[in-house]
């Protein structure tokens, strides 16, 4: 009798264990995904993928908030005599020192001065500038000496004003669609002799290029003085507006008189702004919303300035896998570098664009749910990704739900189907 009971118990345990084995259905084409997805609604629920606040740094999920690298080159316009701008090793040193100084400020973001008594969080800016290489230059760096006797100089006011001119850019810019072109310019010596001529540090953003002026006014050891104005102009390129206005798109940048320095009385008395996008003698602070604005711009598919960002999200990195252990709603674009794993009984809701690197998967564990609210999941690098693994354990299965028009692109077998149809 005891042997019979023991045998029955053993068989029961084996049967139970078998029913709890994990079964996986791999979906490697958009058709397969559509066939198993539950269409919960024909309409997408309201979501603003352009809301900068959705791109504010979130320390809980570093996996989809990797550092963005902006590729840059440097131009030093000069006259034929090469007397007016940095040349040779000194030009390379200027470029490297300026980039280092810019990155130092982006890493060491500072607290906002305004409003007085604020508790605005302080985050790393989340992006860096990197000098590109060019094997065709003497230094191997993307540093160029552009000779143009008519356009080498910079004048921002009065007779001969050319700060908004793109002539020098159109003539010498290199790979404008993929590299941020810096034009480090000098003021004409004869103008410097004119009383009242404006010769301070200055800059202007023009598309995917920028000009900074006054570079020969300071010795190389003082290159750091150009970091704030340079970061200011880069901010414009990536969507930031002047922050002393009320309509800069961010609630954490209060309107103010835009004072260069504090005075004893009048509108500039007391604490003044130190924001990077104002005109002040500090220009260092970036708010969470401003960082979010830059990140939103860098994630905007097909935007011209997204091309300036190094495309380091194409290569699969398992160490960058996002494991979703609590319900998560992403109302922002994401450039993943690894897999996405949704743990059992957890819901992930995607409402915008998500890039998956080559070979990456989205794993939906038993009882987990992936809600795609008008979302687009694709590979941004012209490659294929490995699709979805839907797991079942016992009576529980992972699921995918559609709301509105969902786009699943670049899956492994989608590429195969396209190739066969073209033949």
pLDDT attached to residue 190: 79
Across 270-303, b (16+ Cβ under 10 Å) vs e yields eebbbbbbbebebbbbbbbbbbbbbbbbbbbeee
**b/e sequence 11-48, b meaning 16+ C-beta within 10 Å:** eeeeeeeeeeeeeeeebbbbebbeeebeeeeeebeebe
∠ CA 90-180-135, nearest 5°, is 55
pLDDT of residue 197: 74
- Give dist(CA 155, CA 185) in Å, integer: 10
- Residue 246: what pLDDT? 80
pLDDT of residue 19: 52
pLDDT means over runs of 10, the chain (423 residues): 44 47 95 94 94 90 84 97 95 98 98 96 96 97 97 89 96 97 92 76 96 93 96 98 90 94 92 96 97 97 96 95 95 96 98 97 98 98 97 96 97 64 35
How confident is the model at residue 421, as a pLDDT?
Answer: 34
Please tell me whether residue 194 adopts helix, strand or coil conformation.
coil
- Give the chain's domains with CATH numbers: 18-50+313-422 (no CATH), 67-298 (3.40.390.10)
Q: How much is the pLDDT for 9?
A: 38
Q: How far is CA 402 from CA 33, 39, 250, 354, 374, in A?
A: 10, 5, 32, 15, 7
Supply the Cα-derived Rg of the chain in whole angstroms: 27
d(CA 224, CA 228): 8
Q: Identify the pLDDT of residue 10.
A: 43
Q: Could you tell me how far CA 374 lies from the centroid of its own chain?
A: 22
The pTM (predicted TM-score) of the whole model is 0.90
């Amino acid at each position: 009798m005891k042997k019979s009971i023991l045998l029955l118990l053993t068989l029961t345990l084996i049967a139970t264990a078998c029913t709890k084995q994990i079964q996986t259905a791999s979906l490697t084409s958009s058709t397969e995904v559509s066939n198993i997805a539950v269409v919960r609604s024909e309409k997408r629920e309201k979501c603003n993928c352009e809301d900068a606040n959705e791109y504010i740094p979130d320390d809980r999920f570093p996996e989809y908030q990797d550092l963005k690298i902006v590729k840059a080159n440097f131009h030093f316009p000069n006259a034929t005599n090469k007397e007016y701008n940095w040349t040779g090793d000194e030009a390379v040193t200027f470029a490297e020192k300026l980039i280092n100084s810019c990155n130092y400020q982006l890493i060491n973001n500072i607290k906002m001065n305004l409003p007085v008594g604020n508790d605005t969080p302080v985050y790393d800016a989340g992006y860096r500038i990197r000098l590109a290489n060019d094997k065709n230059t003497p230094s191997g760096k993307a540093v160029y000496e552009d000779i143009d006797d008519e356009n080498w100089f910079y004048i921002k006011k009065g007779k001969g004003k050319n700060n908004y001119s793109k002539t020098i850019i159109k003539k010498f810019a290199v790979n404008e669609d993929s590299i941020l072109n810096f034009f480090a310019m000098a003021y004409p010596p004869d103008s410097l002799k004119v009383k009242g001529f404006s010769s301070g540090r200055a800059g202007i953003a023009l598309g995917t290029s920028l000009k900074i002026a006054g570079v020969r006014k300071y010795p190389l050891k003082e290159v750091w003085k150009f970091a704030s104005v340079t970061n200011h102009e880069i901010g414009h390129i990536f969507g930031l507006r002047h922050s002393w206005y009320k309509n800069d798109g961010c609630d954490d940048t209060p309107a103010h008189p835009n004072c260069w320095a504090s005075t004893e009385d009048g509108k500039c008395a007391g604490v003044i702004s130190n924001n990077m996008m104002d005109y002040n003698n500090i220009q260092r602070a970036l708010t969470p919303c401003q960082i979010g604005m830059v990140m939103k711009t860098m994630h905007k598919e097909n935007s011209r300035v997204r091309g300036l960002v190094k495309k380091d999200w194409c290569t699969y990195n398992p160490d960058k896998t996002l494991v979703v252990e609590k319900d998560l709603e992403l109302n922002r674009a994401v450039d993943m570098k690894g897999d996405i794993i949704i743990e059992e009984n957890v819901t992930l809701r995607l409402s915008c664009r998500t890039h998956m690197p080559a070979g990456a998967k989205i794993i939906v564990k038993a009882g987990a749910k992936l809600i795609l609210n008008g979302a687009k999941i694709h590979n941004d690098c012209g490659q294929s990704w490995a699709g979805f693994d839907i797991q079942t354990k016992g009576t529980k299965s992972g699921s995918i739900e559609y709301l509105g028009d969902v786009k699943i692109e670049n899956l492994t077998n989608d590429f195969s189907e396209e190739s066969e149809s073209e033949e």
